Copies of this chain bind each other. A is one copy, B any other.
Amino acid sequence: MFAEVLTIGDELLTGNTVDSNSAFIAKKLTERGYWVRRKTTVGDDVGEIEGVIREILERKPEVLVISGGLGPTHDDVTMLAVAEALGRKLVLCEPCLERLREFYRELHERGMIDDPNLNEARKKMAYLPEGAEPLENTEGAAPGAYIEHSGVKIFVLPGMPREMKAMLENEVLPRIGERRFIQRKLLAEITDESKLAPILSEALRRFEVRIHSSPKGFGRYIGIILFGENEGEIERAKTFMESRGIRFEEGW
Protein backbone atom coordinates (compact mmCIF):
# COMPACT_ATOMS: atom_id res chain seq x y z
CA MET A 1 0.00 0.00 0.00
CA PHE A 2 2.14 2.85 -1.20
CA ALA A 3 1.68 6.54 -1.83
CA GLU A 4 3.50 9.30 -3.66
CA VAL A 5 3.70 13.03 -3.03
CA LEU A 6 4.15 15.66 -5.75
CA THR A 7 4.85 19.26 -4.82
CA ILE A 8 4.73 21.99 -7.44
CA GLY A 9 6.33 25.42 -7.48
CA ASP A 10 9.25 27.28 -9.05
CA GLU A 11 10.13 28.66 -5.61
CA LEU A 12 10.87 25.10 -4.44
CA LEU A 13 13.28 24.54 -7.33
CA THR A 14 15.17 27.80 -6.82
CA GLY A 15 15.62 26.97 -3.15
CA ASN A 16 13.76 30.09 -2.07
CA THR A 17 11.26 27.96 -0.20
CA VAL A 18 12.02 24.83 1.84
CA ASP A 19 9.41 22.21 1.02
CA SER A 20 7.89 21.55 4.42
CA ASN A 21 4.55 20.65 2.80
CA SER A 22 5.75 17.34 1.45
CA ALA A 23 7.12 16.38 4.88
CA PHE A 24 3.77 17.19 6.49
CA ILE A 25 1.87 15.19 3.90
CA ALA A 26 4.31 12.28 4.14
CA LYS A 27 4.00 12.21 7.92
CA LYS A 28 0.21 12.03 7.80
CA LEU A 29 0.25 9.32 5.13
CA THR A 30 2.82 7.33 7.12
CA GLU A 31 0.65 7.55 10.22
CA ARG A 32 -2.18 6.07 8.18
CA GLY A 33 -0.04 3.09 7.31
CA TYR A 34 1.01 4.15 3.83
CA TRP A 35 4.56 3.63 2.63
CA VAL A 36 5.49 6.92 0.98
CA ARG A 37 7.72 5.59 -1.73
CA ARG A 38 8.74 8.74 -3.53
CA LYS A 39 8.43 12.52 -3.32
CA THR A 40 8.88 14.63 -6.43
CA THR A 41 9.00 18.39 -7.00
CA VAL A 42 8.60 20.12 -10.34
CA GLY A 43 8.06 23.74 -11.36
CA ASP A 44 4.97 25.63 -12.52
CA ASP A 45 5.04 24.27 -16.04
CA VAL A 46 2.20 22.34 -17.66
CA GLY A 47 4.48 19.99 -19.58
CA GLU A 48 6.66 19.15 -16.59
CA ILE A 49 3.70 18.54 -14.29
CA GLU A 50 1.82 16.50 -16.86
CA GLY A 51 4.89 14.38 -17.54
CA VAL A 52 5.61 13.59 -13.93
CA ILE A 53 1.97 12.72 -13.19
CA ARG A 54 1.98 10.22 -16.04
CA GLU A 55 5.16 8.65 -14.65
CA ILE A 56 3.66 8.40 -11.17
CA LEU A 57 0.44 6.82 -12.44
CA GLU A 58 2.50 4.15 -14.23
CA ARG A 59 3.94 3.13 -10.86
CA LYS A 60 0.34 2.64 -9.64
CA PRO A 61 0.42 4.06 -6.13
CA GLU A 62 -2.77 3.72 -4.12
CA VAL A 63 -2.70 7.42 -3.25
CA LEU A 64 -1.12 10.44 -4.94
CA VAL A 65 -1.18 13.77 -3.11
CA ILE A 66 -0.33 16.83 -5.22
CA SER A 67 0.22 20.24 -3.64
CA GLY A 68 0.77 23.68 -5.16
CA GLY A 69 -0.17 25.84 -8.12
CA LEU A 70 -3.92 26.30 -7.62
CA GLY A 71 -4.03 30.08 -7.24
CA PRO A 72 -5.10 32.89 -9.58
CA THR A 73 -1.70 33.91 -10.96
CA HIS A 74 -0.49 33.08 -14.46
CA ASP A 75 1.90 30.40 -13.26
CA ASP A 76 -0.75 28.48 -11.31
CA VAL A 77 -1.30 25.75 -13.87
CA THR A 78 -1.65 22.59 -11.79
CA MET A 79 -5.34 21.82 -12.47
CA LEU A 80 -4.80 22.22 -16.20
CA ALA A 81 -1.77 19.91 -16.08
CA VAL A 82 -3.65 17.30 -14.02
CA ALA A 83 -6.51 17.38 -16.53
CA GLU A 84 -4.08 16.93 -19.44
CA ALA A 85 -2.22 14.09 -17.73
CA LEU A 86 -5.51 12.25 -17.17
CA GLY A 87 -6.89 13.01 -20.62
CA ARG A 88 -9.81 14.90 -19.13
CA LYS A 89 -11.25 18.33 -19.84
CA LEU A 90 -11.30 21.18 -17.37
CA VAL A 91 -14.92 21.90 -16.55
CA LEU A 92 -16.56 24.66 -14.54
CA CYS A 93 -17.53 23.64 -11.02
CA GLU A 94 -20.60 25.81 -10.37
CA PRO A 95 -20.59 25.48 -6.56
CA CYS A 96 -16.87 26.37 -6.58
CA LEU A 97 -17.61 29.51 -8.59
CA GLU A 98 -20.32 30.45 -6.15
CA ARG A 99 -17.98 29.97 -3.22
CA LEU A 100 -15.24 32.04 -4.88
CA ARG A 101 -17.75 34.84 -5.46
CA GLU A 102 -18.65 34.70 -1.78
CA PHE A 103 -14.99 34.54 -0.75
CA TYR A 104 -13.90 37.66 -2.64
CA ARG A 105 -17.07 39.54 -1.65
CA GLU A 106 -16.18 38.89 1.97
CA LEU A 107 -12.52 39.92 1.55
CA HIS A 108 -13.75 43.11 -0.09
CA GLU A 109 -16.16 43.82 2.76
CA ARG A 110 -13.28 43.41 5.21
CA GLY A 111 -11.28 45.94 3.20
CA MET A 112 -8.60 43.47 2.14
CA ILE A 113 -9.05 43.83 -1.62
CA ASP A 114 -10.20 46.68 -3.86
CA ASP A 115 -12.23 44.67 -6.33
CA PRO A 116 -14.80 42.08 -5.22
CA ASN A 117 -15.59 40.87 -8.73
CA LEU A 118 -14.60 37.55 -10.29
CA ASN A 119 -12.16 38.44 -13.05
CA GLU A 120 -10.77 35.74 -15.33
CA ALA A 121 -7.82 35.00 -13.06
CA ARG A 122 -10.10 34.33 -10.11
CA LYS A 123 -12.65 32.42 -12.17
CA LYS A 124 -9.90 30.07 -13.35
CA MET A 125 -9.83 28.51 -9.89
CA ALA A 126 -13.37 27.15 -10.36
CA TYR A 127 -12.31 24.85 -13.21
CA LEU A 128 -11.56 21.27 -12.19
CA PRO A 129 -10.75 18.14 -14.22
CA GLU A 130 -13.94 16.48 -15.47
CA GLY A 131 -15.33 14.04 -12.92
CA ALA A 132 -13.38 15.54 -10.01
CA GLU A 133 -14.97 16.04 -6.64
CA PRO A 134 -14.19 19.53 -5.27
CA LEU A 135 -12.38 19.66 -1.92
CA GLU A 136 -13.31 22.52 0.37
CA ASN A 137 -10.68 25.14 1.15
CA THR A 138 -11.62 26.52 4.55
CA GLU A 139 -8.57 28.81 4.68
CA GLY A 140 -8.36 30.34 1.20
CA ALA A 141 -9.77 30.77 -2.26
CA ALA A 142 -8.86 27.82 -4.47
CA PRO A 143 -10.79 24.57 -4.07
CA GLY A 144 -8.90 21.29 -4.26
CA ALA A 145 -9.88 18.23 -6.26
CA TYR A 146 -10.31 14.51 -5.65
CA ILE A 147 -10.16 12.22 -8.65
CA GLU A 148 -10.13 8.43 -8.86
CA HIS A 149 -8.22 7.44 -11.96
CA SER A 150 -7.05 3.94 -12.96
CA GLY A 151 -7.27 2.82 -9.36
CA VAL A 152 -5.22 5.74 -8.01
CA LYS A 153 -6.79 8.14 -5.52
CA ILE A 154 -5.51 11.55 -6.63
CA PHE A 155 -5.80 14.58 -4.35
CA VAL A 156 -4.90 18.05 -5.58
CA LEU A 157 -4.28 20.56 -2.80
CA PRO A 158 -3.18 24.21 -2.58
CA GLY A 159 0.44 25.07 -1.83
CA MET A 160 -0.11 27.59 0.95
CA PRO A 161 0.72 25.51 4.06
CA ARG A 162 -2.28 26.67 6.09
CA GLU A 163 -4.70 25.84 3.28
CA MET A 164 -2.99 22.58 2.42
CA LYS A 165 -2.95 21.35 6.02
CA ALA A 166 -6.62 22.07 6.65
CA MET A 167 -7.65 20.40 3.39
CA LEU A 168 -5.46 17.38 4.08
CA GLU A 169 -6.96 16.88 7.53
CA ASN A 170 -10.59 17.58 6.62
CA GLU A 171 -10.90 16.30 3.09
CA VAL A 172 -8.08 13.86 2.30
CA LEU A 173 -7.50 11.76 5.41
CA PRO A 174 -11.18 10.78 5.82
CA ARG A 175 -11.09 9.42 2.25
CA ILE A 176 -8.03 7.16 2.62
CA GLY A 177 -8.98 4.80 5.41
CA GLU A 178 -9.03 4.41 9.12
CA ARG A 179 -5.87 2.50 9.89
CA ARG A 180 -3.45 4.37 12.10
CA PHE A 181 0.22 3.65 12.60
CA ILE A 182 2.10 4.96 15.55
CA GLN A 183 5.80 5.59 15.83
CA ARG A 184 8.31 5.66 18.64
CA LYS A 185 11.66 7.38 18.43
CA LEU A 186 14.59 5.85 20.28
CA LEU A 187 18.30 6.48 20.51
CA ALA A 188 20.34 3.28 20.36
CA GLU A 189 23.69 3.56 22.10
CA ILE A 190 26.09 1.30 20.28
CA THR A 191 29.82 1.06 20.08
CA ASP A 192 29.95 -0.99 16.91
CA GLU A 193 27.54 -0.08 14.14
CA SER A 194 28.09 -3.32 12.29
CA LYS A 195 26.46 -5.27 15.14
CA LEU A 196 23.21 -3.36 14.76
CA ALA A 197 22.15 -4.50 11.28
CA PRO A 198 21.53 -8.21 12.02
CA ILE A 199 19.58 -7.33 15.17
CA LEU A 200 17.32 -4.94 13.27
CA SER A 201 16.80 -7.53 10.54
CA GLU A 202 15.79 -10.17 13.04
CA ALA A 203 13.38 -7.77 14.77
CA LEU A 204 11.77 -7.04 11.39
CA ARG A 205 11.23 -10.76 10.81
CA ARG A 206 9.78 -11.43 14.26
CA PHE A 207 7.49 -8.48 14.79
CA GLU A 208 4.89 -6.47 12.88
CA VAL A 209 6.96 -3.31 12.83
CA ARG A 210 8.91 -1.18 10.43
CA ILE A 211 12.26 0.22 11.54
CA HIS A 212 14.14 3.26 10.29
CA SER A 213 17.60 4.12 11.50
CA SER A 214 19.81 7.14 10.99
CA PRO A 215 23.11 8.18 12.57
CA LYS A 216 23.12 10.91 15.21
CA GLY A 217 26.62 12.24 15.65
CA PHE A 218 29.62 9.96 15.34
CA GLY A 219 29.52 6.39 16.35
CA ARG A 220 27.84 6.50 19.72
CA TYR A 221 24.19 6.89 18.83
CA ILE A 222 21.90 5.69 16.11
CA GLY A 223 18.41 7.19 15.89
CA ILE A 224 15.80 4.47 15.57
CA ILE A 225 12.14 4.92 14.67
CA LEU A 226 9.84 1.97 15.28
CA PHE A 227 6.52 2.00 13.41
CA GLY A 228 3.70 -0.34 14.32
CA GLU A 229 -0.04 -0.65 14.57
CA ASN A 230 0.01 -0.67 18.37
CA GLU A 231 2.20 0.14 21.36
CA GLY A 232 2.35 -3.52 22.42
CA GLU A 233 4.05 -4.70 19.24
CA ILE A 234 6.50 -1.80 19.34
CA GLU A 235 7.31 -2.57 22.96
CA ARG A 236 7.87 -6.26 22.17
CA ALA A 237 10.24 -5.39 19.32
CA LYS A 238 12.14 -3.01 21.58
CA THR A 239 12.41 -5.59 24.37
CA PHE A 240 13.70 -8.16 21.90
CA MET A 241 16.41 -5.80 20.63
CA GLU A 242 17.43 -5.00 24.21
CA SER A 243 17.75 -8.72 24.89
CA ARG A 244 20.28 -8.77 22.02
CA GLY A 245 22.39 -6.09 23.67
CA ILE A 246 21.13 -2.73 22.38
CA ARG A 247 20.72 -0.06 25.02
CA PHE A 248 17.97 2.47 24.21
CA GLU A 249 17.21 5.97 25.34
CA GLU A 250 13.80 7.50 24.62
CA GLY A 251 13.28 10.27 22.11
CA TRP A 252 15.46 12.54 20.00
Interface residues of A (CB under 8 A from B): 9-20, 22-30, 35-43, 48, 52, 55, 71-75, 104, 107, 112-115, 119-122, 140-141, 160, 183, 185, 191-194, 196-197, 200-201, 212-215, 218-220, 222, 225, 227
Asked whether A15 lies within 8 Å of B24 as measured between CB atoms, the reply is yes
List 12 additional contacts besides A38-B41, A113-B191; criterion CB under 8 Å. Answer: A15-B29, A16-B185, A18-B23, A37-B42, A38-B42, A55-B55, A72-B193, A73-B213, A73-B222, A113-B220, A122-B193, A141-B218
Chain A contact residues: over half helix, strand or loop, or mixed?
mixed
* A–B pairs, 10, beta carbons within 8 Å: A9-B214, A15-B25, A16-B27, A38-B48, A72-B193, A74-B200, A75-B213, A107-B218, A121-B192, A140-B218
Asked whether B48 lies within 8 Å of A27 as measured between CB atoms, the reply is no
Asked whether A39 lies within 8 Å of B37 as measured between CB atoms, the reply is no
Asked whether B27 lies within 8 Å of A15 as measured between CB atoms, the reply is yes
Asked whether A73 lies within 8 Å of B196 as measured between CB atoms, the reply is yes
Residue of B nearest to A29 (CB): B15
Given contacts A17-B23, A219-B113, is CB(A40)–CB(B40) below 8 Å? yes
Q: How far is the CB of A102 from chain B (nearest CB, A)?
A: 14
How far is B5's CA from A12's CA once the two chains are assembled, in angstroms? Answer: 12
Chain B residues near A185: list those with CB within 8 A. Answer: 16
Q: How far is the CB of A99 from chain B (nearest CB, A)?
A: 14
Given contacts A38-B42, A41-B39, A194-B121, is CB(A215)–CB(B28) below 8 Å? no
Chain B residues near A115: list those with CB within 8 A. Answer: 191-192
Chain B residues near A73: list those with CB within 8 A. Answer: 193, 196-197, 213-215, 222
Asked whether A113 lies within 8 Å of B9 as measured between CB atoms, the reply is no
How far is B72's CA from A20's CA once the two chains are assembled, in angstroms? Answer: 28
How far is B243's CA from A127's CA once the two chains are assembled, in angstroms? Answer: 33
Given contacts A9-B214, A11-B214, A41-B38, is CB(A119)–CB(B220) below 8 Å? no
Chain B residues near A225: list those with CB within 8 A. Answer: 11, 14, 16
Residue of B nearest to A71 (CB): B215
